[in-house]
Amino acid sequence: MKMEKNYHTLKLCLLLLLPAGIILSHKAQSSPAWVEKNYTQGFFVTVNQFLSRATGLLPFSVAEILVIVLGVALAISICRLVIRIIKWQAKRKQLLVNFLLNTLIIISILYFSFNLLWGLNYYRQPFAALAGLEIKPAAVAELEELCRSLIIQANSLRTKLEEDPLGVMQLRAGRENVFNTAEIGYTRAAKFYPQLGGTYGQPKGVQFSKFMSYTGITGIYFPFTGEANVNISIPDCMLPATTCHEMAHQRGFAREDEANYLAYLTCMLHPDPDFQYSGTLLALINAINALYRHAPERALLLQEEYSEGLQRDLLHRRKFWQQYEGPLEEISREINDSYLKANRQADGVQSYGRMVDLLLAAYKENQKGAIP
């Protein structure tokens, strides 16, 4: 009897983790300075670096294994539930209640753990504040100037790269080298922005990358293992930037647009032209898309300045994603959009998206595309 009472008490406590997680998230939202100092630069950095280094000792993605195991476990649980309902129809209601209760307990544990291990980083201070960059509205002409600068930069870097037989950019040292050397960009960036420093496990390629492509996902940071997971089937031109993007998440920069900017920044500080080109390409795609939304005729004129090599890379990238378009990709995009909207902060005076606004702020500060 006592054991049964303790069991019910434990279940109740685990269920209470859900409202506890919601309260924790709500409190953090109103105190970004506190989150930055006490959570991100305190608890998170300590725990996450330990977790990341521990899983980093293994050559494969622990996150990928966990997702597969949990998926199989969920399928087995549902099958068992169906069999039991058919076998014991008199207990159908009780079986369903128990299944739903256990599911809610798992959700409560995962949600609270997510917030504790990483989720509160959504409410940390914006990178612009940490970097001393002034974000303010910019004229379309300024955005056009930024795009032109990035095009010149991309065209110049493109001449230094290797190509495959189709004339598409090819990583000179292979894909594994990207994971082995990506840390260099962050080590250099940490000299200007200490928040980007630290010792973390190396980024990892996902074995089921082709499936990830069908969902439109290029990479995933998994907070429960501290791993930066990368889709290794994407075109070479985007792999370095994608890797650095996931590494930004690993360092507690949760917002997607800030992670994009940090991917650009760390790629530009990397000595390898492959990284520099990939980061520039990421920045150019975001900037030219922003310009197209506000002044399509100017964006189309600027695109005529793309070098032939740059055009081939962008065409290859577009064709790559076209082959994976379908219902699964649409569903994944809707889920991802809902997730981002649930966690993203308002952008205030920003008008082109946080990444492009950061690019504009940095560009106006020193009239160069590569920052700091």
pLDDT in tens, 313-361: 999 999 999 999 877 666 766 666 666 556 654 444 344 688 999 999 9
What average pLDDT does this structure show over 4-16?
82
Contact 171, 177 (CB under 8 A): yes
What is the C-alpha to C-alpha distance for residues 9 and 153, in angstroms, rounded to an integer?
A: 62
The pLDDT value recorded for residue 339 is 63
Q: How confident is the model at residue 370 (pLDDT cuts 50, 70, 90)?
A: very low
In angstroms, the CA 259 to CA 261 distance is 5
Report the DSSP pairing between strands 162-163 and 169-170: antiparallel
- Say yes or no to pLDDT of 162 above 50: yes
Tokens of 281: 């390409």
Is residue 322 helix, strand or coil? helix
**Peptide bond before residue 372 is cis, with ω within 30 degrees of 0:** yes
In the predicted structure, residue 312 carries a pLDDT above the cut 70: yes
> pLDDT tens digits for 27-76?
999 999 999 999 999 999 999 999 999 999 999 999 999 999 999 999 99
pLDDT in tens, 110-151: 999 999 999 999 999 999 999 989 888 889 999 999 999 999
For residues 199-227, average pLDDT: 95
Alpha helices in 215-326 (DSSP H): 239-250, 256-268, 273-294, 296-303, 308-322
pTM of the model: 0.91
**Closest C-alpha among 275, 259, 246, 249 to residue 185:** 275
Beta strand residue intervals within the chain, DSSP E: 162-163, 169-170, 204-206, 219-222, 227-231
* Residue spans of alpha helices (H) in 88-139: 92-117, 127-131
Of 118, 83, 60, 73, the C-alpha closest to 249 is: 118
pLDDT above 90 for 186? yes
Q: Which of 61-65, 97-101, 149-153, 293-297 has the lowest mean pLDDT?
A: 97-101
Confidence of residue 365 (pLDDT cuts 50, 70, 90): confident
Residue 134 CA to residue 129 CA, distance in Å, equals 8
- DSSP character at residue 126: P
Where does residue 231 rank: exposed (0-12), middle (13-18), buried (19+ CB within 10 A)?
buried
Per-residue pLDDT at 220 exceeds 60:
yes
Residue of higher predicted confidence among 7 and 236: 236
E strand or H helix at 75: helix 62-87
Q: Residue 3's pLDDT is what?
A: 63
